[in-house]
Amino acid sequence: MTEGFLFQALIYLAAAIVCVPIAKRLGMGSVLGYLLAGIVIGPYAFAFIGKEGQDIMHFAEFGVVMMLFLIGLELEPSHFWRMRHRILGMGSVQIMLTTLIIWAGMMLLNFNWKTALAASLALAMSSTAIVLQSLKEKGLGDTEAGRSSFAVLLFQDIAVIPVLALLPLLAVSTGYGTGGDGKAILAGLPGWVQTVAVLGAGSSVVLAGRFVIVPFLRMVARTHLRELLTAAALLIVIATAFLMQLVGLSPALGTFLAGVVLANSEFRHELESDIEPFKGLLLGLFFIAVGASINFNLLISSPLQLISLVIAVIAVKIIVLMGTGRLFRINCDQNLIFALGLSQVGEFAFVLFGFMHQLQILPDRLTDRMTAVTPLLLSINERFILPRFGTLAAAGKEADIIDVQHPVIIAGFGDFGSTIGRFLRASGIAATILDNDSDRVDLLRKMGFKVFYGDAARPDILKSAGAEAARILIIAVADPSTNCDLVEKIQKHYPHLTIMVRIKDRQDAYEMLDMGVKDVYRESLDTSIRLGVDALVKLGYRRYAATRAGQNFLKYDEAALLKLAPHRHDEKSYLYNAREQITMQELLLANDWEVNTTINDHAWESELRTDQEAKE
């Protein structure tokens, strides 16, 4: 048994390491890579795994439990409250209408109403992980489409609780969660009893989280042992899952509630970082097991039926989402991104279908069909829809005709870019401003700015903006991948332009330095130094001396950035040189303070003195 288990683990891990990079290279996501790995090693391909792989499957299912725990940790009540109208409004409309339409369609096909309702609830869900990651990669998180997508996905995550509570009521028999010996405290009881038990168990988890788990974590944290805190995080997840399973309920539900309770605790970020590696690996194994269980005989025997089902689900979801967007007055281009992005079925559908099958709500053949359809929906969305996220807005609205040309072009006019634009305009320098968010462009025009709608990454837009005659291009876009793409095109088509680019942190700065861009500006650097200067002034230092110290620190830090850049790929060398540079910066700054330059300080608030000067 041990050899069999180790062999299966070897096969699973090897398949993941080989197939996931191939899937990423082909433009697919990691979820599809894991599914592909499962298909390759499954009984319908090389048959490396079979029934003996059930041990790995049970182990891998725990990844779903951890996924829901992390989703719960991300649901901060304060953030939810700020977005409550969008979340409750858009989310509830999407879930109810999608479920209703799919349920009605399945009823017309003579499905049992319980089966149709359960399946339609699962198909109404979208992929939280995939959509949010794609929005982040495309820099669309702060757009109307991005905020609306987040709101609907958040409502769907929360809707998991009532869905899991409803499923036992739809069950023909109640066998889920009985464990290996088939015995559970609630086994054989009516569905309504199980539903009440779900609510009662959920309340117990909430109370335990508030009055037991948080004090327990504080006690563990006092040991200052990182590995013990990791063990405590795993203990919380495993113990919650075990207690929920003991009474025949969903372990995923319990851990989700535990995550929600701990979302506002001081241990939230530690728990996320400790659980994340385990979740990623186990969730990957879960999708491999799902891929291995896909019934390809069904795909071969009825391909038209499955293709029709895929097209029908996508069409229904797009229509509902487009209608929801129009109802909440989202502009056409943003509404298109919103609707297409959420038109797939999420990976959590696998979990719901498995739960329904164990409850005998779905028959074997329908479970196989739904399990086969879900990867197809994910594949279509990842391969053909999500890669076009960044260009759909332009397709919905034509770029503006740019009728002015100035020596400076600003790409991106959010808070960062607009501050630069206002400063330049106040200094008598005109700039050509480009932004590809139509909502923001409309708002800025009402505020009196002359902003042109268009994607600065398009060569024709840059040409019409006067890039051939301009001297400086300021890239004020937040997304690092967009910045890299824009820099490559500028260096290729307009090498004479001086590029000044906004970046988030040191790692992004290193990327730009590698591409030959010298003028990089970290978002928080100047703000951090300005705050430090003000802190010195409040402590009694003269404004002139504090400002000079801040400018010297900025100079030393930028010099250190250039020196550290060649070492960033060698961790040992980077850490050694980073420590050396930090020590050097502090010594240089200390020497600057010792130099007596106070002779001209009277020009800047001379009444402010250091404590030492006051004593003299």
Which tens digit of pLDDT belongs to each residue from 48-71?
A: 776 544 555 565 567 667 777 777
Per-residue HEC secondary structure of 49-82 comes to CCHHHHHHHHHHCHHHHHHHHHHHHHCCHHHHHH
Position 398 scores a pLDDT of: 58
d(CA 128, CA 154): 8
Burial of residue 29 (CB within 10 Å: 0-12, 13-18, 19+) is buried
Which of 8-12, 61-65, 143-147, 560-564 is most confident? Answer: 560-564
Looking at the chain, the whole-number percentage of residues with pLDDT higher than 70 is 74
The residue length of the chain stands at: 616
DSSP annotation of 402: P
Helices 113-123 and 144-170 pack at an angle, to 10 degrees, of 150
Position 320 scores a pLDDT of: 93
Helices 251-262 and 144-170 pack at an angle, to 10 degrees, of 140
d(CA 344, CA 351): 16
Poorest-pLDDT segment among 53-62, 83-92, 274-283, 550-559: 53-62
> CB within 8 A of 474, min separation 6: which ones?
408, 409, 410, 411, 417, 420, 431, 500, 501, 502
Report, as an integer, the average pLDDT of 474-499: 84
Report, as an integer, the average pLDDT of 4-32: 78
The answer to whether 70 and 325 have CB atoms below 8 angstroms apart is: no
Residue whose token pair is 């840059």: 462
Poorest-pLDDT segment among 28-32, 396-400, 587-591: 396-400
Whether 281 shows a pLDDT value over 60: the answer reads yes
Whether 250 shows a pLDDT value over 70: the answer reads no
Whether 606 shows a pLDDT value over 50: the answer reads no
Report, as an integer, the average pLDDT of 557-561: 84
Whether 96 shows a pLDDT value over 90: the answer reads yes
- The band of 97, judged by pLDDT with boundaries at 50, 70 and 90, is very high
Whether 346 shows a pLDDT value over 80: the answer reads no
Whether 372 shows a pLDDT value over 70: the answer reads no
The token duo for 306 is 């499955």
> CB within 8 A of 521, min separation 6: which ones?
500, 501, 502, 503
- The band of 319, judged by pLDDT with boundaries at 50, 70 and 90, is very high
The domain 61-393: what is its CATH number?
A: 1.20.1530.20
Per-residue HEC secondary structure of 490-536 comes to HHHHCCCCEEEEEECCHHHHHHHHHCCCCEEEECCHHHHHHHHHHHH
d(CA 391, CA 341): 13
Report, as an integer, the average pLDDT of 354-362: 71
Position 614 scores a pLDDT of: 46
Whether 526 shows a pLDDT value over 70: the answer reads yes
Position 465 scores a pLDDT of: 84
Count CB atoms within 10 A of the CB of residue 320.
24
Report, as an integer, the average pLDDT of 295-317: 77
Position 95 scores a pLDDT of: 92
Helices 226-246 and 214-221 pack at an angle, to 10 degrees, of 160
Position 612 scores a pLDDT of: 44
* Cross-strand partners of 503: 522
Q: Give the residue among 372, 350, 378, 356 at the shortest CA–CA distance from 64.
A: 350
DSSP annotation of 345: -
Position 376 scores a pLDDT of: 60
The mean pLDDT of the chain is 75
Task: Look up the CATH architecture of domain 398-523.
Answer: 3-Layer(aba) Sandwich (3.40)
Report, as an integer, the average pLDDT of 595-611: 50
Q: Give the residue among 371, 343, 355 at the shortest CA–CA distance from 125.
A: 343
Cα–Cα distances in Å, from 199 out to 61, 193, 560, 565? 23, 10, 57, 54
> CB within 8 A of 425, min separation 6: which ones?
431
DSSP annotation of 26: T
Q: Give the residue among 465, 333, 349 at the shortest CA–CA distance from 388.
A: 333
Position 62 scores a pLDDT of: 72
pLDDT per residue over 191-238, tens digit each?
A: 666 667 666 776 777 788 778 888 888 888 888 787 888 888 888 888
Torsion 276-280-286-287 (CA) sign: positive
The answer to whether 170 and 358 have CB atoms below 8 angstroms apart is: no
Poorest-pLDDT segment among 215-229, 288-302, 320-334, 576-590: 288-302
The answer to whether 367 and 353 have CB atoms below 8 angstroms apart is: yes
Task: State phi, psi for 473 to the nearest 5 degrees.
Answer: -115, 120
Position 101 scores a pLDDT of: 94
Report, as an integer, the average pLDDT of 11-18: 85
Position 178 scores a pLDDT of: 39
Give SS3 for 581: helix
> CB within 8 A of 552, min separation 6: which ones?
588, 589, 592
pLDDT per residue over 169-194, tens digit each?
A: 776 543 333 333 444 555 556 666 66
pTM of the model: 0.54
- The band of 602, judged by pLDDT with boundaries at 50, 70 and 90, is low
